[in-house]
Amino acid sequence: MNKPASPTWASSEIAAVNLVDNRVYSDPQVYEQELRRLFDRTWMFACHESEIPRPGDYLTTSVAESPLLIVRGKDGQVRAFYNTCRHRGTQLTAERCGHASTFRCPYHAWVYSLEGDLIAVPGEEAYEGSGFAAKDYPLVGLRCESIYGLIFVNADPRAPALRQWLGTGVIDSLATPLAHGDFEVIKYYGYEVEVNWKVFAENVRDGYHVPFVHPFFRRASPPGPYHLFEHGHAVQHLRMDPVGMGSELWDKLRRYPLPGVEEGAGYIVTLFPDINLMLRSSMISIDSQRTLGPRLVRLESRVLGLKGDSEEMREQRRLQHMTWFLGPLEQEDQPVFRLQQAGVGGRGVPFSIIARGSHSNAGTRGDDNRLRNFWAQWRAMMGTEFNGLG
């Protein structure tokens, strides 16, 4: 079989799979294909189970710009529905979270149960002879599965189960600490950034930038080994260096390690396409995105603590989050995000490069293997041989 020709934008000196077509960060056609081929077929993080602890508790979110409703039913089961009335398509609720006994459409007052059944239609007799029957028009559901309290949804009925998608390597990593404690969200933080979703997804897999963008990390967080897994997932192990951070900060951050976690130990677990879980000794955060357009995302971060924590413990975990994620993201990464988004729009520069380091499924953080692993899964789901339009 003949080797496929490289796309016109590629360099003749570097393999095409080690280059990224810069148009993928803004092109509406690429984005529309991603919505259908990638986000509609992938397990996407929705929320943590502690955010909807009681029957009737709900949370709204979106995947691929589709509004979703995550609700715990009277039977205690968590279900996911499109947040869309079956009558005229009105969103049932715009609240981020809340508690309800039923969901009543604000337009024509159709009422749905917590399990999604259509249970009341005002003036239903007027539909007589039309073929309409309320039992035929429940809310449209999505697959909803969870692991260690992390709730995921998937719009594709043919996709593998969540555990199969994650794989044993990822699941074993997340078990510490999530399988050894009763966790709950102690802080939620969300805001919009005018960048393509892949900018953040690449950044959390890119160890090369750390010494230049995050000087504190260079001193205080020596890298450990990384491991690549199927479906674009990866784990990067990290530690805290008491000498690099100074004794005063170390004394604060070394306290209250989570169950099964060694003092100062941590990791970054990246799940394809855009989910990042960061463990830092006493704190674990879930960092995800909601795509809102080719150049707009909502970044969301949830900090987990243990149920029964004292306020001092929670304050320490929030300090850990500010030190290792939120502060660096806002002050150091976001300016680079915006510069990258602006820079890839230069029509005279057709591609960017992910060729650093030899190909390996394990190593340290300074090469591009985690990026290449991400793009290999992107190609597989997009049905293309190149990281771009071809």
Residue 3 has pLDDT above 50, yes or no: no
Query: Can you give the pLDDT at residue 2?
Result: 42
Tally of structural domains, the chain: 2
Quick one: 118 and 205 in the same domain?
Answer: no
- Residue 294: cis peptide before it, omega within 30 degrees of 0: no
Domain for residue 389, yes or no?
no
Lowest mean pLDDT among 198-207, 264-273, 326-335: 326-335
**Domain identity same for 197 and 110:** no
> Interhelix angle for 369-382 vs 28-37, to 10°?
80
Range of the domain at 93: 44-146
pLDDT at 36 over 50: yes
> 287 and 211 share a domain?
yes
Q: Which of 40-44, 115-119, 385-389 has the lowest mean pLDDT?
A: 385-389
211 and 313 co-located in one domain: yes
User: What does the pLDDT read at residue 272?
Assistant: 98
Question: What pLDDT is stored for residue 4 in this prediction?
Answer: 53
Residue 176 has pLDDT above 70, yes or no: yes
- What mean pLDDT is predicted for residues 13-42? 95
Regarding whether 257 and 127 lie in a shared domain, the answer is no
Local confidence band at 1 (pLDDT 50, 70, 90 cut-offs): very low
CATH of the domain at 240: 3.90.380.10
Query: What pLDDT, in 10s, does the model give residues 241-296?
Result: 999 999 999 999 999 999 999 999 999 999 999 999 999 999 999 999 999 999 99
Q: In what order do the strands lie in the sheet with 111-112?
A: 103-104, 111-112, 118-120
Please state, rounded to an integer, the average pLDDT across all residues of the chain: 94
> Is 361 found in the same domain as 266?
yes
Residue pair 237/266 in contact (Cβ under 8 Å)? The answer is yes
Decide if 154 is inside a domain: no
Q: Are residues 193 and 279 in the same domain?
A: yes
In this structure, the answer to whether residues 258 and 353 fall within a common structural domain is yes
Q: For the chain, what is the HEC assignment?
A: CCCCCCCCCCCCCCCHHHEEEHHHHCCHHHHHHHHHHCHHHCCEEEEEHHHCCCCCEEEEEEECCEEEEEEECCCCCEEEEECCCCCCCCCCCCCCEEECCCEECCCCCCEECCCCCEEECCCHHHHCCCCCCHHHCCCCEEEEEEECCEEEEECCCCCCCHHHHHHHHHHHHHHHHHCCCCEEEEEEEEEEECCCHHHHHHHCCCCCCHHHHCHHHHHHCCEEEEEECHHHCEEEEEECCHHHHCHHHHHHHCCCCCCCCCCCEEEEEEECCCEEEEEECCEEEEEEEEEEECCEEEEEEEEEEECCCCHHHHHHHHHHHHHHHHHHHHHHHHHHHHHHHHHCCCCCCCEEECCCCCCCCEECCCCCHHHHHHHHHHHHHHCCCCCCCC
In the structure, what pLDDT confidence band is assigned to residue 301 with cuts at 50, 70 and 90? very high
| Residues 232 and 328 occupy one common structural domain | yes
Based on the domain organization, do 135 and 189 belong to the same domain? no
- Kindly state the average pLDDT of the residues 128-142: 97
DSSP state of 76: S
Structure tokens at 251: 């004394």
Q: Residue 212 — very low, low, confident or very high, per pLDDT cuts 50/70/90?
A: very high
